[in-house]
Structure 1
Amino acid sequence: MNLIKKPSLSFWQIFNMNVGFLGIQYSFGLQQTAINPIFLYLGAPEDMLPILNIAGPVTGLIVQPIIGAMSDKTWSPRWGRRKPYFLIGAIIGSLCLFAFPTSPVLWFAVGLLWILDVGNNMAMEPYRAFVGDKLPEKQLSLGYQMQSLFVGAGILLANGSIVLFQYLFGGDSIEVAGEIPKWLYYSFYIGGILSITTILWSVLKTPEIPPSEGELSEIQRNRSLSFGRRIAKPFEEIAEAIKEMPSFMWKLGAVYLFQWYALFVYWQYITPLFKATLGYSTSEAASQSAQMSLTYNIVTMVVALALVPLTLKYGGKKIYAYSLIGTGLALFSIPFIKDPILVLAPMVLFGIGWAAMMGIPYTMVSKVVPQERRGVYMGILNMMIVIPMGIETLSFGPIYKYLLGGSAINAMLFAGAFFIIAALLALRLNVSKEINDDL
């Protein structure tokens, strides 16, 4: 392990370092809430929505580990190691967000989604490594939980802006086939501004730590390679990193398989669930789903930093596992609550779980991977997210139809059970043992 001495940072230095995550997560919030309605406005059949969203898992699977490997071998005294990548990614994302609501036809919007996902993933992965690069081990929990706070804040602002602008400007508008409502433009314009300004804030406020002499020598050797070898090098780095991956990450991959599979089931079937349990129309059910999202992201913002002292006292493994259990219990309870206000209560547990999921695993991984490969391993960690997404996309349709009787209630219970399995697997994670074995 690389034991470079890193200075402790103040709370506000850590805050400034993570501000850029707000813009990235605002963009992801729009993707969760507004992209599919735009596809529908432009004439997409409902049964085509899953395939039209395939950009997310494909770009996440390819872009993040490649960018991670490239950033590990990058250094500029002026621009740094990770910052050039998430700055370029933010610029790409910002341009796409400004253009998205003016999409004239469906194929144009789908193409923009692919480019937007490339930009977001290009910004996301080096950002995870950036925090690990800067912070000493005792501050890693605070750094990644700060990112978790901005995850909740970004998605909350995205969803809240859509609700607000629809209320202010959408009430009297008439939907026209093939046209995107004008009130939806504003949320995307805000996202385009946030994407670049928040990243610039972090870039300008936070200097990167220069690489060690050994790392710098490796970077120089990489620069001396031929163009073809430099293109092939990231792929070789990914393959080698997977081959030598710490056993801790293989165990975390098993947790992620069940955790992220369950999350995708929840996001896909929460709207159909409310049609079944509350007798809502599609629009009413979608509105209720948006309120659920707003609720749990508010909770995430509130509790993200509160998890830091808990993880320091009781250990990340226990807090992570208990949070997953709480999320599973939340999903078990939702189908049996018939009041639209009371059904928001389980989102407290879900929000705590979401805060833990977005912070604690990254803290643990940063402690067990070598500094010189932090970028590529953070990219591989994201592969562990998008692979369950692909598996769920391909497998859950038949499971839903033939094993769960086409019932959204059963789908939610199924997701709850998967969270409990993930929690049990999380109890196998042992960071201290991994570090000792490595030393």
Structure 2
Amino acid sequence: MSQTPDNKSGHKPQLSFWQIWNMCFGFLGIQFGFALQNANVSRIFQTLGADQEALPGLWLAAPLTGLIVQPIIGYLSDRTWHPRFGRRRPYFLVGALLASLALVFMPDSSTLWIAAGLLWVLDASINVSMEPFRAFVGDQLPVSQRANGYAMQSFFIGAGSVIASMLPWMLEKAGVANTAAAGQVPDTVRYAFYAGAGVLLGAIAWTVLRTREYPPETLHAYDEAQPLDRLPLDRGRAARFGLLWLAVGVVGMGLVAWQGLPRELYLLGALLAVYGVALLALTVVGRDNGFAQVMTDIYAMPATMRKLAVVQFFSWFALFSMWIYTTTAVTAVYYGTGDTTSVEYNTGANWVGVLFAAYNGFAALAAIAIPFMARRLGLRWSHLLNVALGGIALISMPFMPNADWLLLPMVGVGFAWASILSLPYALLSDSLPAHKMGVYMGIFNFFIVIPQLVAVATLGYVLKHVLGGDPAKVLILGGASMILSGLCVLRVPEPASHSA
């Protein structure tokens, strides 16, 4: 890889397929850890005595950790340079080491609160590695290849998810014990976590050792970003908005208490109030500190990011609707039961695991096709097509002839999943300057976390009071939300290198 801007075009050199492969390979390990977490942490919590009603509160560690950690790591990595390890790679390695240790210790937790604490460590550590990976693609690739880079990340996300999700099942088939004494995690899960620690650390080490980064002066000379179309910081306006969001948050929490609404809604009110306080603090603190700079970047984010925020909100609200309620919907519609102790329910729940592995497998295949789609149709229309397929797939799930046919909608969900993990980032990165790529990729994560929190806080209430208690209707709602996200992407400008 050239380290000086000596090409006449002034653009970054094109990278080969294998160079892009090496720089994205670490995402296989990151997703391996995430998939093990998503598939097994509730099982670990319940083994250690957690009630079903307590699970959402224990799981809130994941989105809240991402909300805090990613912009901080982005801000720090933008300002890091080491002659040997580079800019982003030190964070890859530190995050991988800590996440691997958490994976090793979590299945051997002796109490629920140790396991919950290790979830915080695991999720924070994975976020330390993951956030710079998004900025890494923007750093290393020219605009014309960024869709390829993010699609390659989607491929490794799909591949890692399939293998990790099925690993306990495969270990059981190999003769490893799938049951254990009360309060003990089965060996299938323990060994899967041990293997996951090795895969996570090994995959990220491969990227760290097999890639190089541009030094800051070269990266800035290659900067291909369009002029940053940010709002200027108006401290008076920031103060007024701070007071507004603080008031909305406080009033919202009061209404939750007054009307006896679900306690999860307190979280939304608290987040709005905290954001209001942060804006007010921005008006009084000095500018030469990390807090003020990150808050200024949030307040004055580029117009492209603001438009993509809407796209991300509806996309990820749809995904969380699917992840939360697919098991309930499938067992009710196709297995005729909601009894979690019945054979039929557990058969259906196992089939949902297969369906989730299937859509991740289809996503890995879709990631191969997406760069060709982007070159032919452009980024926006490719994303609209993919998420429309996903939306139609979710809407169709309650209407299949039988449970086996549910593999068909997973094709559409796979295309949507691969697209959501790649094309919005390609659309965004063209509008970000090199010296702020990390912090803005971290801020962009807010628009993944916020819809997750909204889904956790509202879907239970909506299911009971609006959708008549029918979980299949939540999937239909999610499908409509995904299609809406595709329509919203048409408001986002197409990068010049992908314009027709």
TM exceeding 0.5: yes
Distance 1:215 1:70, change over 3 A: farther
Residue of structure 2 in register with 1:195 after alignment: 200
In structure 2, how many angstroms separate the alpha carbons of the residues matched to 1:419 and 1:173?
37
User: Counterpart of 1:332?
Assistant: 395
Letter in 2 for 1:179: Q
- Give the equivalent residue in structure 2 for 1:314: 377
1:78 is aligned with what amino acid?
R
Instruction: State the structure with bigger RCO (CA 8 A, min sep 6), 1 or 2.
Output: 1
| 2:22 equivalent in structure 1 | 16
Distance 1:180 1:213, change over 3 A: closer
CA distance in 2, matches of 1:325, 1:345: 15
- For residues 308 and 434 of structure 1, the distance between their equivalents in structure 2, rounded to whole angstroms, comes to 13
What is the deviation of 1:232? 7.6
**CA distance in structure 1 between the aligned counterparts of 2:456 and 2:10, rounded to whole angstroms:** 42
**Residues 285, 230 of structure 1: alpha-carbon distance in 2 compared, 3 angstrom cutoff:** farther
Q: TM-score, normalised by structure 1?
A: 0.92
Structure 2 residue 68 is the aligned partner of structure 1 residue 62: yes
| 1:405 corresponding residue in structure 2 | 468
Structure 1 residues not aligned, in runs of 5+:
217-228
Q: Is the aligned partner of 1:236 residue 2:241?
A: no
Q: What SS is found at the alignment partner of 2:135?
A: helix
**3-state SS, counterpart of residue 468 of structure 2:** coil
Is residue 72 of structure 2 the alignment partner of residue 72 of structure 1? no
In the superposition, the TM-score normalised over structure 2's length comes to 0.81
Q: d(CA) in 2 for partners of 1:213 and 1:99?
A: 42
Q: Secondary structure at the match of 1:384?
A: helix
Out of 333, 345, 350, the residue aligned to residue 287 of structure 1 is: 350
- What root-mean-square deviation, in Å, do the aligned CA atoms of Structure 1 and Structure 2 show? 2.2
- In structure 2, the partner of 1:302 is 365
How many angstroms apart in 2 are the aligned matches of 1:415 and 1:264?
8
The answer for the alignment partner of 1:253 in structure 2 is 309
Gap change, CA 1:82 and 1:398, over 3 Å in 2: same
State the secondary structure of the residue aligned to 1:388.
helix
The answer on 1:271 being equivalent to 2:277 is no
Query: Within 5 A, what are the aligned runs for 1:12-411?
Result: 12-169=18-175, 174-212=179-217, 233-279=289-335, 281-411=344-474
Gaps of 5+ in 2: 222-284, 338-343
Instruction: Please tell me whether the aligned partners of residues 64 and 121 of structure 1 are also in contact (alpha carbons under 8 angstroms).
Output: yes
Distance 1:379 1:139, change over 3 A: same
Pair 365,179 (structure 1): closer, same or farther in 2 beyond 3 Å = same
Which structure's CA Rg is the greater one? 2
Shift of 1:214: 9.7
Asked if 1 retains the 8 angstrom alpha-carbon contact of 2:35 and 2:165, the reply is yes
- Measured in 2, the distance between the counterparts of 1:191 and 1:239 equals 36
Aligned pair count? 422
Provide the rounded CA distance (Å) in 2 between the counterparts of 1:196 and 1:15. Answer: 17
Deviates more, 1:139-148 or 1:172-181: 172-181
Displacement over 6 Å in runs of 4+: 213-216, 229-232, 433-436
- The one-letter code matched in structure 1 to 2:162 is L
CA contact (8 A) 2:379 2:498 kept: no
Q: Deviation string for 1:56-104 (max 9, x for gaps)?
A: 1111100001100111111111211111111100101010111111111
User: How far apart are the structure 1 equivalents of 2:219 and 2:108?
Assistant: 49
Contact 1:60 1:382 (8 Å CA) reproduced: yes
CA distance in 1, matches of 2:373, 2:483: 21
d(CA) in 2 for partners of 1:174 and 1:239?
49
The answer to whether the 8 A contact 2:27-2:157 is kept is yes
- SS of 1:355's partner is helix
TM-superposed CA distance for 1:339, in Å, is 1.8
Q: How many percent of aligned residue pairs carry the same amino acid?
A: 40
**Which range is displaced more, 243-252 or 344-353?**
243-252
- 3-state SS of paired residue (1:406): coil
Partner SS for 1:212: helix
Instruction: State the shift of 1:338 in Å.
Output: 4.0
Output one character per residue of 1:249-302: Cα deviation in whole Å (capped at 9) or x when no partner: 111111111111111110010000112111253322221111111111111111
